Amino acid sequence: MRLTSGEKKLRPGALLAALRERAGFKTQTALAEKLNRTPGEISNLENERDHIGATRAIWLAEFFGVNADDFLRARRNCTSTGQTEKRLMPMAENSRSGSMSDTKWNVYLSGEIHSDWRERLVEAVERAGLAVTFSGPVTDHGASDDCGVSILGEEDDDFWKDQKGAKLNAIRTRSLIEKADVVVVRFGDKYKQWNAAFDAGCAAALGKPIVTLHSPDLNHALKEVDAAALAIAENTGQIARILQYVIEGGLDQPAKGKIGFV
């Protein structure tokens, strides 16, 4: 499918709507059924102004026959006036395969905050030279608990204190999960991370690729969460190798470094 000059100027969501209509799908539901997605997910994508994650951009580009890499570059170059640089081009034969190493991936790190698993994962990915930006919740436990009353006023009842804090934290977590290309959810052994399970549910509802990280001892307790994940890892080294594989498209010769057990 060749993009028109007008389509080249559209933001990601508007472009998807235009391509959907041009391909003969009069409703979001019709396209959702064809792609085996939910109408809500298609609706959310068509409402996006600035950001469609790399994974979604790839399968949308492949379905409509445009170049995935050019689609991603155009997405990053959206301006406040709703224009894009003219980088949406007709699909080349090789656009469906090859490395995604030139694309900046956004990985959200959810879950347990009582160990250094995030730091170890970031170090492993940096050693491999992967183009990844990490995001996550506030990991300062005290700040996370007290943010609501500190900013919005004290509460006599801990229930209302927690309500204020949870809602402020949700502004961050929901926004960053929506922007993520991959969501990693870590469940530790010591505490029951109900918030991590909730994050996993939100990510699943948004159609985000989920990778869970936990010990085998939790396999049974987390079977429903793991059923929604695309990979189940036991250590951060496995997570780093997953990212290396999906970004570089190979196993034997990493671009800048090897990743071992972490």
Tens digit of each residue's pLDDT (9 = 90 or more) over 175-215 = 999 999 999 999 998 877 889 999 999 999 999 999 999 99
- Residue 92 and residue 17 share a domain: yes
- Is 142:161 a contact under the CB 8 Å cutoff? no
pLDDT of 82 reads 38
Instruction: Count other Cβ atoms within 10 Å, centred on residue 203.
Output: 23
Q: For residues 261 and 178, give the distance between their C-alpha atoms in angstroms, rounded to a whole number.
A: 30
CATH number where 154 lies: 3.40.50.450
Kindly report the average pLDDT of the chain as a whole number: 81
- In the chain the beta strands, taken as DSSP E runs, fall at 105-111, 132-135, 182-186, 210-213, 231-233
Query: Coil, strand or helix: which one is 196?
Result: helix
- Residue 170 and residue 54 share a domain: no
Residue 239: phi, psi to the nearest 5?
A: -60, -45
35-66: pLDDT as tens digits: 877 887 788 777 776 556 656 666 677 788 87
- 254 assigned to some structural domain: no
Domain boundary among 42, 68, 96: 96
- Residue 120 and residue 12 share a domain: no
Select the highest-mean-pLDDT range: 18-27, 106-115, 244-253.
Answer: 106-115
pLDDT of 223 reads 96
Q: Helix, strand, coil: what percent of the chain each, to 5?
A: 50, 10, 40
Tokens of 125: 């990915």
What range defines the domain where residue 127 resides? 105-248
pLDDT at residue 171 greater than cutoff 60: yes
